[in-house]
Amino acid sequence: MSQNNDLPLKETIGFIGGGNMAYAIASGLISKGVLKAEQIWVSATALEKLRNRWSPLGVTHCTINNEDIVTEADIIFICVKPQLCIRILPDIDCVAKNTKVNMWGKLFVSIMAGVTLDRLRTLMPSVNKANLVRAMPNTPLQVGVGCTVFCSFSDCLSNNYALHKTVQFMFGALGLAYEVKESQINAVTGLAGCGPAYVYEFIEALADGGVKQGIPRDMALRLAAQTVMGAAKTVLETGKHPAVLKDEVCSPGGATIHGVHALEQGSMRGTVMNAVERAANRADQLS
């Protein structure tokens, strides 16, 4: 097993499903030097489309056969839509049951929203429970500032400790990574997993406000995105509560407090809290 300071990792990484999240993880790991492109395998149903997207990363191991991923990879990320689990996971189990390859050294990491560890275990009974991890990353992993939480069967962690540490290292190389209780996964899905979409909405609205005031569209969008990035970095690096930082910007009778008043009139905070709650509830429903 590779050590954290020995880059790139030696393990082969496979992705069942080549969509946005798989691409975000892979491209982030390549750009950070954690993996080389030739260590990556990826499968999807449309081979030409898969190659067109992944080839620019240098990934050449593209296939329509999930069996190739299970056979060739040491760590297999299951990156399909959760409603497909009842079709995909039994196929994986069939490979695990019939293959002559040693399955003990492999780890399966599911990023399917709402699909519990027990559900993974039920649909893949031939895979040892110590080889199952459930994770919830978000797409900013591709630029190295992602958020990921993950969990495993607590009574099995020591049985496959080295592989679990490698997963934690990979996600940690791409941003924040926390191991949590499975009961917290859906809440984090509503906050961090879905959160980038909320922020993109805010950036777009902020830019639209600038355009309304006469700022050119391209400039307004870049100013809005930079403002959000700068504010987020200030929270992380100063350790100050956002309310304290907000008060530091709001001069008495100034422009900022008038803008904040407009946000309060629009119930922005309550709306964002509702968005997190609804997304978390939907993840619960998917379970």
Is 66 assigned a ligand-binding role in the annotation? yes
User: What is each CA distance from 149 to 27, 48, 53, 259, in whole angstroms?
Assistant: 19, 32, 27, 35
Is 17 assigned a ligand-binding role in the annotation? yes
Strands in 75-78's sheet, in edge-to-edge order, are 61-63, 40-43, 13-16, 75-78, 107-110, 132-136, 146-152, 175-179
Which residues have a Cβ under 8 Å from the Cβ of 176 and sit 6 or more positions away? 146, 147, 148
Cis bond before residue 90 (omega within 30° of 0): no
How are the residues of the chain apportioned to helix, strand and coil, as percentages rounded to the nearest 5? Answer: 60, 15, 25
Is 18 assigned a ligand-binding role in the annotation? yes
Which residues sit in the known binding site for NADP(+)? 16-21
Which residues sit in the known binding site for NADPH? 66
Which residues sit in the known binding site? 16-21, 66
